[in-house]
Amino acid sequence: MAESLKRLLTQHPVEASAPCRIDSGGTWDIKAMALPLAGVNPTTVNIALNLRTSVVLTPYEDGRVRISSEGFSKDEDASIDRLPLDVPFGLFYAAVSYFGFHGLEVRIRSQSPVKSALGGSSTALVALIKALSKMSASLGSKNLSAMEILHLAYHLEDGISGGNCGLQDQAAAVYGGVNQWKWNYGRQTAPFERHALLGKEGQKELSGRLLVAYSGETHVSSKTNRDWIKDFLSGRTRAGWIKVNEIVHSLARAVKKMNWKQAAGLLREEVALRRELTPEALIPITERLVDQAEHEGCGARFAGAGAGGSIWALGEKKNIERLRKTWRDTLAPVKGAMILDCAVEPEGVK
């Protein structure tokens, strides 16, 4: 039976937040690739950023749910018995529906640009599930564990989108930090292994060697990922994807050893292969940013599925500082583009 939160939220609004991420080896976290090729040990490395997405639950009209988000011009409002799951905020309606709540407004606020390929929608969903879990616990149910939040967030997003969602965005949002993920979807009780690559001191060292920029061009990953998977399944690009996976395993080892020069070189290797496998992942402005990074001795990569969105670079401190000026000058005339002031985020959803 659906339960109104209006009275409880009038007394105490509830908030939760989660970090976004940058990544290497993304797409291998999608089951269509990782399951058939389990023998190559599919992996992704990602880095949580302290650009957090916050969700606040506030009271609203009984029997209704309202959702609003900074960066979206239109809010949405629906009756609990007809929550639309095929609208821009359908994923968030689905989470509210799962918990059976009404009489609330969901307010989403993100420190990263909208549709910037940093895992924003998945991050917001993780934060929302955490907030809803807090409410559920206050009503006498069990508070969801980190693993349960991850499980629910992934399956909600995969189901509502019609499949071919990966798990890395939600995983970074739940756990934070710098991690290597090994995807074992064929194992019923352990669909992934998480290997933390850096402690707090290592994360601080990495933060001084990272540069993240938003290209000014918004990004939608679903079509791009579908095209990549189609080529993978046909066998046309499979050998290249396997080579990418080998490089990402090497990148994880380099990051763990804090061998930044080697890590930057491996990023360059991955992007060289990605340019052949996924040429549409780089648009003119992001291709220019990658070229500039490589000219400065850094490695740079598009975040997520690319095709706009954000670019991130890794290199020695002096090289990153030179690159910061170059990127700032390049992005200055581009509407909405910017260097993102961020660092590694050690904490996941809270």
How far apart are the C-alpha atoms of 340 and 345, rounded to whole Å?
14
Does this model's pTM top 0.85? My answer is yes
pLDDT tens-digit profile of 135-189? 999 998 989 999 999 999 999 999 998 888 899 999 999 999 999 999 999 998 8
Per-position b or e across 92-108, b if 16+ CB within 10 A of its CB: bbbbbbebebbbbbbbb
Query: Domains of the chain, with CATH numbers?
Result: 3-196 (3.30.230.10), 200-340 (3.30.70.890)
Tokens 């955490």 correspond to what residue?
130
Q: Is the dihedral of CA 143, 145, 146, 150 positive or negative?
A: negative
- Percent with pLDDT over 90 in the chain: 82
How far apart are the C-alpha atoms of 138 and 344, rounded to whole Å?
32
Work out the number of other CB atoms within 10 angstroms of the CB of residue 330: 16
How far apart are the C-alpha atoms of 76 and 66, rounded to whole Å?
6
Q: Is the dihedral of CA 269, 50, 96, 61 positive or negative?
A: negative
pLDDT tens-digit profile of 108-138? 999 998 888 898 899 999 999 999 999 999 9
pLDDT tens-digit profile of 226-267? 788 889 999 999 999 999 999 999 999 999 999 999 999 999
pLDDT tens-digit profile of 276-319? 988 888 899 999 999 999 999 999 999 987 778 899 999 999 99
Length of the chain, please?
350
